[in-house]
Chains A and B, each alone.
Chain A
Amino acid sequence: MSNSVISVISRFLEEYASSTPNKLKVIDAYLLYIMMTGALQFLYCLLVGTFPFNSFLSGFISCVGSFILAVCLRIQINPQNKGEFLSISPERAFADFLFAHTVLHLVVINFIG
């Protein structure tokens, strides 16, 4: 049983390393970074306590928001999805990404206290 799981995972990693374009891998690395930051913040909250709660929320929401926006960017940039995003060029997707981040950070900084 575990054998098949391991073989599936190794296969997946192989496929990923070979067939994913570099740009997407860069974004994936960014996604990993965001996820780890959020996880570490959550761990702190669990261990030490929720004071100050607003700061924890704003930091955590910032991670979650950034993750979502990066995922959207990845989807829109992926050449395999070109058919679904005919009107949106990769540059346009990036510009949207930046704008959305500005709004997100405005809110996050407001709430962080």
Chain B
Amino acid sequence: MYPFEGLFSLLVLSLVLETQALTPTHHLTTTDVARLQALLSQPFTDLKSAYYSVVGLSKLGISVADAATCRFIKSNLDPSSVESLFFAAEASQALPGCEIPVSNDTRDLLLATVSEDSTASQIHQSVSALSSLGLPLASQEVVSALKARISKEDNVLTIILALQTASRLSQQAELGEILEEIEDLAARLDDLGGVYLQFEEGLEATALFVSAAYALSDHVDMEPPIDQVIQLVNSIFSKKSWDSLSEAFSVASAAESLSSNRFHVPIIVSAQGPAAISHSQPFLRLQVTNVLCKPLSSASVLVESATATSSKSAILSQAPFTLRDGVFELNFMASQPASGYYQFSVAIAGDSRFVANHVELKVKVSTRVSINNMDLSVVDKDQSIGPKTTRVEYPAKAKASFMADSHQIFAMTFQLVDETTGVELTPHQTFVRLHNQKTGQEVVFVAEPDSKNLYKFELDTTERKTEFDSISGTYALYLMVGDATLENPILWNVADVVLKFLDEEAPSTIQAKTLYTPKPEIQHLFILPEKKPPTVVSNEFTALVLSPFLLLLILWFKLGANISNFTLSPSTVLFHIGHAAMLGLMYVYWTHLNMFQTLKYLAIIGSFTFLAGNRMLAQKAVKRLVDNLAAKLL
């Protein structure tokens, strides 16, 4: 049993620590609070808006001591309406010296409303009115009516109203069951990404829940089972302009309850201005306030650790902030930190109610840079002539200009140090810019530090001639030094350099690149027909190809081929006609027809020719056989 308990408490502790590590991402700033106040201070038109304004402002700590308001409330009061009585009673309670006259009928009306048949809203209003007007009420009846109401209507608003009503009852009543509703209701909140926690009914419901839950918890002096206070803070205070008086009122109530309840007080830690420190501003200033932006003077702020983000070495440990004019400050420069970024882990103590009292901050330490030992020289490539170094002091410019042609290299070395401490620095941006004043061309190079943090820049004219487009001339040399942690970025015209390039290919004046001028028109070339041989040649060859036919006829004649066996039987004639027709069809196909038509005609003529031919050949075969037989017999 005991080991399990131990494990359970360890789990709870880890969960608690986890939630405590979360800090509010949204909170009201002083301008937001002023805006809320302005919205609530608008002139009111009816009793309801008067109630919201007066009570809302009182929650923000601003009391409206106005006789006119009291008169307004009294004149607009309708004694026969429970709602009207509620608004008037609550508003007059917030106004000092404003008393609402109460008659017996009013009291009876209010007492009669406390029953199971009234809505939760009516019960809430009558109980609040009775309590504000100082009239006695029967707490137990109220509790049972509320319980019945909750079991009939299980929605969020009903339970919130029940919680609010219960906080007005006497402490002797049995509020245990209603108190349990806080936990059930908290379980109904929607978690959005672990950052926001709100009801789907919206901002007003969430804010009213917070104020009701803490009001009841304070009333019975029991810690509410709400452990995600910061997420609730994020949800309620993420909206910075409010649509209606009731929404503004709910936010004001929630803010008030979160800043002054007995159990959980979320604190908001923010740096005053940017979290940046320099020699001119050595103090890191933090504002520690509650959700209503009221500074918490009872708090004591301590830096648990301050580590450099680059080297991870701890600079400070357990250093306290001092309170001055409501702002906590720490002289960080006294620890002589090097420039860069530091991760601060700050703890706020002083009250056990504080929630989100561990904050992580990123602090920047800036410094001023100074350039030492700027040496410029022109070195011969073959090192035959020793370099003459000219030293230039910032912000002066070198008197003589430097000449470098294709045989020489222009070199520059310098050191960047912290102005106050003399520590060498390596800023992010160290550029060398060469600007040709005549043509407006500029080329930028990067100067790199070597292992001893000495910056070197070398310009070899032959190597770099493409960047310069081989344009010779006088170039103004600038050194640009910049970094996020430098307070004084530098742009220094160090010297003038005359560069001479070989093979000056570029034109003497540079024209703007002709990128957007019309290009030469492309003429479309249609496909040229293939080269054909001259017609004479083809005609000659056609005759030549047809000439062997003559040869054939001659040969056949010589061989004695004849048509003497040509019988004029009908099948023979028809066959020959059909065959000729087929050949004619071939010609017509070549000139006019397509394959389908040809096949159609061919089928007709062909079948006809086939029949005739078959007949003819059969006759011929018979004749041949008869002749053979006759020859054999003879």
Contacts and interface: CB of A to CB of B under 8 A. Distances in A.
Interface of A: 22, 25-26, 29-30, 32-33, 36-37, 40-41, 44, 48-49, 51, 59, 89-92, 94-95, 98, 102, 105-106, 109-110, 112
Contacts of B8: none
Nearest to B549: A33
Contacts, number: 76
B627 to A, nearest CB: 13
Q: Which 3 A-B pairs have the closest CB atoms?
A: A33-B552, A91-B617, A29-B555
Interface string B517-535: 0000000000000111100
Contact of A26 (B544, B549, B551, B556): B556
A22 B557 CA distance: 12
Interface in B285-332: none
**Interface on chain A toward B: helix, strand, loop, or mixed SS?**
helix
B560 interface: yes
Contact of B559 (A22, A89, A94): A22
**Interface on chain B toward A: helix, strand, loop, or mixed SS?**
helix
A74 to B, nearest CB: 14
17 contacts: A22-B559, A22-B561, A26-B556, A26-B559, A29-B552, A29-B556, A32-B551, A33-B549, A36-B551, A37-B549, A48-B533, A49-B533, A51-B530, A90-B621, A91-B620, A98-B613, A110-B595
A105 B541 CA distance: 22
Interface string B606-624: 1000000110011011001
A44 to B, nearest CB: 5
A1 B75 CA distance: 151
Contact of B531 (A25, A40, A51, A91): A51
Contacts of A32: 548, 551-552, 555
B606 A89 contact: no
Contacts of B556: 26, 29
Interface stretch (B162-170, B462-470, B582-590): B582-590
Q: Which of B548, B579, B598 has the most CB of A within 10 A?
A: B548
Interface extent on B, as a size class? 35 or more
A16 B20 CA distance: 121
Given A40-B544, A91-B620, A109 B552 contact: no
Given A22-B561, A29-B559, A92-B617, 19 more contacts: A22-B560, A25-B559, A26-B561, A29-B552, A32-B552, A33-B551, A33-B555, A36-B548, A40-B545, A40-B547, A44-B545, A51-B530, A51-B532, A91-B617, A91-B620, A95-B613, A98-B613, A109-B586, A110-B589
A40 B542 CA distance: 9
A32 B56 CA distance: 123
A104 to B, nearest CB: 10
Given A51-B531, A51-B532, A106-B602, A40 B617 contact: no
B512 interface: no
